[in-house]
Structure 1
Amino acid sequence: MRASMGIQELDEILNGGLPIPSALLILGDVGSGKSVLCQQFVYAQAKDGFNCTYFCIDHSPYDIRTNMESLGWNPKDFEDKGLIKFVDLFVGREESDEKYQGNPRDYNELVSAIKRYFIQNQRFVVDSISSIAFLHGETKAYDLIQRIHGWVLKTKGVGIVNAVKGMHSQSFEVAIQQALGNAIILEREVESVYLHVAKTTRTPHQKGKFGLEIDEKGIRILI
């Protein structure tokens, strides 16, 4: 069984998509398209009828919705049907009007909120673990990654954890790649972005670097 990433070429690189259950780490440079990949995945999975939870940490739910709409993906219908939940854990907010929310500045409350909404879903996105590491330290962020891995196995779900490459210690970046079953690296080289699969679990994958472009319809992988 596989879960589609919502990008045909990326599914081909991953031999049909992400294994179920499993989690994918996207470790990428600033501006390399990490969040767009996450949004495209959630939209595709909601279209297929799966319950999806998007944990909004780096950006507000408003920003995520607006960006999705700019790419032609209107999440509102799926929200109304209960297929997409945006959980407001935005570290920059003081108050929230969102139906689903938690306190990102209290680590125990943060973990409790993520767990509460996590076990209700089939697909998830954590965008991103980097802000959690910055607020609470890499040790606690790694602890949360391990908890997420356990929840994935319990719920038989699939999802993505997003992290900013170069924002952390090298040991932390290696540790989170090791902790999750699948890892994709996004790197900027001048004006171009390249993707390569660092590891997968229970499935082969295509090796090499592939170009990545973002247009008005989302991400395209150049094979």
Structure 2
Amino acid sequence: MVPLEKAKTGIKGLDNILKGGLPRNAATVMEGPPGAGKSVFAQQFILEGLKNGEGCMYICVDDPPELVRRRIRDFGWEPQKYEEDGLLVFVDCFSWRIGGSGEKNAVLNEMNYDRLTDVIRTAYDSLKEVKEQRSIVDSMTTLLPQLELQEALRFLSWMKARFINLSKNASLWFTHKASLDPQLYSILLDNAGGIIELRFKEEPETLLRELRVTAMPFEVPTPRWIPYSIDKKGIRIPH
């Protein structure tokens, strides 16, 4: 069997759990409630790719790209440099709801399957010369309900075929199960290869955050919950 290629997440404890990182040629669903730290995972995943010279596509649905850039700067990196070098591209699927976007790659006026796939295809084509890529959809919870059901099904199938199966793309899709229609969530999982669950609960003077790996291609899952914390340097997992 050909060894499964992995993309390091940039979080050492998680990479140890995943035996090297997230799988390429597959999408991984990261599921958890608001406040669990999904966006912090996203920044570290993208920064690790940039550090390794990979092409990175960030599909922004919950927040505008400029806010994501600001978060990347908070980690001490300047995203503009990587955009100019053709290693980082943003897709704005947020701003059409508030009247327009100044981004090069943006859904304008109305969200539908054709507009969405056209803008993602254009953004991705700018990364094709880079051998290895990674991509973020933040989040599927917000994106999928903006499409008609059949369009959502087509979109997930298209993403899997175009950007995952036929490339060395490690894709991370964020979602919150409780906020997504059960049918859509089930179809989302059918098109993904791995699942990482996050949860948190309040304890006296702190928040207890935990994760577990419930599915991963060709791997035995890690069903036990593992604690993690978030500080100014990002996600930390005991290792």
- TM-score, normalised by the number of residues in structure 1: 0.91
Structure 1 match to 2:199? 187
Q: Which moves more between the two structures, 31-40 or 99-108?
A: 99-108
CA contact (8 A) 1:19 1:203 kept: no
The alpha-carbon distance between structure 1 residues 74 and 158, as it changes in their structure 2 partners (threshold 3 A), is same
Structure 2 match to 1:6? 10
CA contact (8 A) 2:27 2:170 kept: yes
- How many residues align? The count is 223
- 1:155 alignment partner, SS class: coil
How far off its partner does 1:33 sit? 0.9
| Counterpart-to-counterpart distance in 2, 1:103 and 1:163 | 23
Q: Which moves more between the two structures, 80-89 or 90-99?
A: 90-99
Letter in 2 for 1:153: N
- 2:180 alignment partner, SS class: coil
Structure 2, unaligned stretches of length 5 or more? Answer: 128-132
Among 128, 134, 141, the alignment partner of 1:123 is: 134
| Counterpart-to-counterpart distance in 2, 1:180 and 1:126 | 13
2:61 maps to 1:57: yes
- 2:104 alignment partner, SS class: coil
CA contact (8 A) 1:24 1:182 kept: yes
Deviations 1:111-149 (A, max 9, x none): 221233235442111111111223224553343222211
How far off its partner does 1:45 sit? 0.4
% of aligned pairs identical?
29
Structure 1, unaligned stretches of length 5 or more? Answer: none
The alpha-carbon distance between structure 1 residues 69 and 21, as it changes in their structure 2 partners (threshold 3 A), is same
- Which protein has the larger Cα radius of gyration, Structure 1 or Structure 2? 2
How far off its partner does 1:37 sit? 0.8
The alpha-carbon distance between structure 1 residues 112 and 197, as it changes in their structure 2 partners (threshold 3 A), is same
The alpha-carbon distance between structure 1 residues 66 and 81, as it changes in their structure 2 partners (threshold 3 A), is same
Structure 2 match to 1:31? 35
After superposition, where does 1:18-167 map in structure 2 within 5 Å? 18-91=22-95, 92-103=97-108, 105-107=110-112, 108-121=114-127, 122-151=133-162, 152-167=164-179
How far off its partner does 1:64 sit? 0.4
Letter in 2 for 1:178: D
Letter in 1 for 2:98: R
CA contact (8 A) 2:100 2:109 kept: no
Among 226, 232, 236, the alignment partner of 1:210 is: 226
| Counterpart-to-counterpart distance in 2, 1:187 and 1:197 | 12
How far off its partner does 1:201 sit? 0.6
CA contact (8 A) 2:105 2:122 kept: no
| Counterpart-to-counterpart distance in 2, 1:203 and 1:183 | 12
